[in-house]
Amino acid sequence: AHRFFLAGEEISYIDFPFSLPHTPVRGATWSLTAVAITVLPGPIETRHGVRDRNHVRGRLGGREGCLAGHWLMVVFLSEGTVCPISFVKDVLFPYALQALPATLDKKWDSPDFAPYRNAFPEPAASSRPVFEAHVADLVKRDVKVSYLKALQGYLWLAGYESGEIKAPLFPDVSLSMRAWHDAGIKLIIYSSGSVPAQKLLFGHTNAQPPSFIPIISDWFDTVNAGMKMESSSYTSILSRYPDTQPQEWLFLSDNVDEVTAARAAGMHSLVVVRPGNAPLPECHVGEGQAVRTFEGLAVGGKRNESS
């Protein structure tokens, strides 16, 4: 357990689920690990008694504050991190393939479809049969190219808007993200899916309220940041926020290679273990390498080891 003082109150039972370098918070007289923030509901035990999250957050956010939203950023992926991988592979991908023929019947020569069609390489951009075959092949091989991701977002739009598609978030996600936002933390999405597709997913979930768009500060994909397994992509994201230090960022992903790339750029990063995800290499199974739930990032108690 780590100890620190908050406006004269020693919070004495903070058990982090992993080790992080301590980063001084700007303007503070004490040091706080970047992710160690009271972001989830639950009691915080201090020497003056039990305090709830709102009490502690209020002390941090006031004049004695030191916790402003600009100093910590949390970056999420979507599939395998906030929602099951199966939602993408078993729902979204098949939906796009099923919707493609009817869409091409109506839109092949239409001006609003032209940007999606023309983004494909030749001869696919000029031949509908080749176009359809190329899309099916890319999906089958799970090739993450920007022109396919843009097309998929276009095809998913009708399903999301009709309510036929809703992103099934893991039970801990909604509460955690909203609590982090309430605590002044900036939430950022980085995915291989296009930014428009990301906004569809986070704008149409099974949570209440269903949209997370109002609490998400920024969006990155392979076009405006780069490939997720390259450290330069994370450096690019960091460069958009020059007032924050790399160690003030937390990146959460289901993919070990992405976590490694983010760490190489200086971010703290953890693998998120979710049902249906690929098994982790043995070196990432231990304490300090992975979490099973966002609740494991809470300050004020131990992570539930049985989760």
Residue 59, pLDDT score? 31
Provide the β-strand partners of residue 51: 44
User: Among 55-64, 166-175, 240-249, which stretch is predicted with the lowest mean pLDDT?
Assistant: 55-64
Examine the pLDDT at 31 and tell me if it is beyond 50.
no
- Residue 222: what residue type? T
Most confident stretch, 30-39, 101-110, 247-256: 101-110
Measure Cα distances from 9 to 16, 55, 60, 241 in Å: 19, 12, 12, 32
Q: What is the pTM of this model?
A: 0.72
Question: Please, what are the domains in the chain?
Answer: 2-81+167-297 (3.40.50.1000), 85-162 (1.10.720.60)
Phi-psi region of 183 (alpha: psi -120 to 50; beta: other; left: phi over 0): alpha
List, for residues 113-123, the tens digit of each pLDDT value. Answer: 999 999 999 99
Residue 93, pLDDT score? 95
Examine the pLDDT at 212 and tell me if it is beyond 90.
yes
Residue 40, pLDDT score? 31
Residue 160, pLDDT score? 97
More confident residue, 40 or 284: 284
